[in-house]
Structure 1
């Protein structure tokens, strides 16, 4: 009897849309799916394929078969296990299907089974400055922020901001710059008393300066491309791919954007002049790309931020566009973006990472 292939929930068919594929990737926490038509193999779909499609102005309702790559990597029954293992290691493949001459899947090798790690991580690295905006009072996380600053709110056994730093440190980042104000001494004291292999520097904003005003403090200090991140968000995605897109597209500023799905819990009505009903929609849903709170900037933009003035990063984006500069958007899935700045989202993130939330 022929053994049934175990796809581990990573199989989709040719009718699946980009949005449906993104939701499945978030649900199973894996970024590579197998596309089939009945029993035949059609292709592999990665998170990178989806990001390139969205950047290329493809609708989220587009079928995945319209965005498939030709240059995918698969194995054949003639390939030995060491050869397949080497292929997966070289290209950091979450899975590798084995195809016969009729293009049927006869076996699948999974990264977690071979390498005993949950998933592969990019071997590409970079060492660029990362600025962490940590000056706010964290009012949405009260009462705990009455005692400690928001960046030090615990998420499991370490504070929120250390999760952010560790995610960048994994890809080679060594230099972190904090813009601080509220309870700044506690933040500096924390990092002075832990073991670490990276540098932290602190720049004080004497008053609230918005989401970008404090970046002026780094003028003439940062001279290379740099990342900026809020201190209350986590993004599980490939930072090297974000940087690659930013550079290849020639952007002055790239904003990371998360797909957000909204559902209206009511039936809606559309009507025209004199109140004549034209359409009914029962609990409609829609998708939007939201500002995820992480950015990549070129250093000359620090010259465009006014000194000691309240200034939002969205205002900087508008200034760039007004002079016909390039502002890019790099999309990530809804599940890749975690907001920790309010209690509901904080507890969702805690649960996702395997920790108990906090009852406020």
Structure 2
């Protein structure tokens, strides 16, 4: 079997945690669950894992508990048109092909049969987006002594344009950018781009107002749920899935969180009274949920932000929790989050 296909296959006893790592490693968010004889057990998507985590499943749970088998496979006798319809219907990265012994014999990839310019995108959400770009970028000095952080290069364009483009894929065309430091350069750069198929509104903080303080300036502009993104992060995720989760669970605010895993290279101990050993774990794996700096908010929250006051979004979250409001967490894999807010992180992605 082709090496490219073999990389997609994981064993039935693979844990959710290991499946996430595998997805990051191979750059696909869909895995084939099959045994050593290539007998098919199911498909596991990033959405399946996210739903399992949201339902409080343990990361060490076997992936087979969460796979869905129906209608997401092809048979070796199927024609390409039927396969195409299935891939389009479920928005699959690829579809495994099985023989009549239920063994994986091939994989048909999205890009092999569907030209990008012929695909009808059906996950357009069209929500407003607020990009917090008013900081001084002190952790990226001396670069930010010359350019504001949003205008630092990333790929062929800038960090700011990369953030905008990721949202535009999901029909978002209404952007509000909070500016302060070197605001005139950001305005000049956006003007230099010429005609755009999206709208940009720059609004200014007269003084630093924290990660949420400036949002209060948008009370009269935002009347629907809206995204907020820091200007030094990139998120590789279906943003419509974040919105679906937000609506389904009636959240007032949803945080996007990356699952970050650490392997401790030592045996860890827990002791009790008189130093008695209570537990011993050999080289444990620890998993934390890290706040990525992207949020989805309901518009009524803007009224809870004090005027002209330094106010972080964590303060807003605390206010919501204090009155028993709903704050949700939407999990993504570790490598679906790119943090470029510090020089070691930025240089790593800049020169890779």
TM-score, length-scaled by structure 1: 0.91
Distance 1:263 1:342 in 2: 23
1:206-217 superposed matches below 5 A: 206-217=206-217
Does residue 22 in structure 1 map to residue 20 in structure 2? yes
Does residue 35 in structure 1 map to residue 33 in structure 2? yes
Which residues of structure 1 form unaligned runs of 5+? 351-355
State the partner residue of 1:130.
129
Could you tell me whether the CA contact under 8 Å between 1:122 and 1:238 is conserved in 2? no
State the partner residue of 1:271.
271
Distance 1:264 1:106 in 2: 39
1:245-260 superposed matches below 5 A: 245-260=245-260
Distance 1:143 1:107 in 2: 51
Q: Deviations over 1:85-138 (max 9, x none)?
A: 232233322111222333222322122333476xx9963102111000001111
State the partner residue of 1:191.
190
1:82-101 superposed matches below 5 A: 82-101=81-100
TM-score, length-scaled by structure 2: 0.93
| Aligned-pair CA distance for 1:263 | 3.4
Taking a change above 3 Å as real, the CA distance of residues 332 and 6 of structure 1, as seen in their structure-2 partners, is closer
Q: Deviations over 1:203-228 (max 9, x none)?
A: 11111111111111111111111000
Distance 1:225 1:237 in 2: 18
State the partner residue of 1:329.
329
| Aligned-pair CA distance for 1:273 | 3.6
Could you tell me whether the CA contact under 8 Å between 1:5 and 1:107 is conserved in 2? no
State the partner residue of 1:74.
73
Could you tell me whether the CA contact under 8 Å between 1:131 and 1:228 is conserved in 2? yes
Taking a change above 3 Å as real, the CA distance of residues 185 and 68 of structure 1, as seen in their structure-2 partners, is same
State the partner residue of 1:61.
60
Distance 2:69 2:280 in 1: 43
State the partner residue of 2:289.
289
Aligned-residue CA RMSD (Å) = 2.1
SS in 2 for 1:7: helix
Count of residue pairs the alignment pairs up: 348
Does residue 302 in structure 1 map to residue 302 in structure 2? yes
Distance 1:139 1:227 in 2: 25
State the partner residue of 2:243.
243
Taking a change above 3 Å as real, the CA distance of residues 338 and 189 of structure 1, as seen in their structure-2 partners, is same
Range moving further from structure 2, 291-300 or 72-81: 72-81
Could you tell me whether the CA contact under 8 Å between 1:95 and 1:111 is conserved in 2? yes
Taking a change above 3 Å as real, the CA distance of residues 26 and 122 of structure 1, as seen in their structure-2 partners, is farther
Distance 2:110 2:143 in 1: 40
Could you tell me whether the CA contact under 8 Å between 2:5 and 2:106 is conserved in 1? no
State the partner residue of 1:353.
none
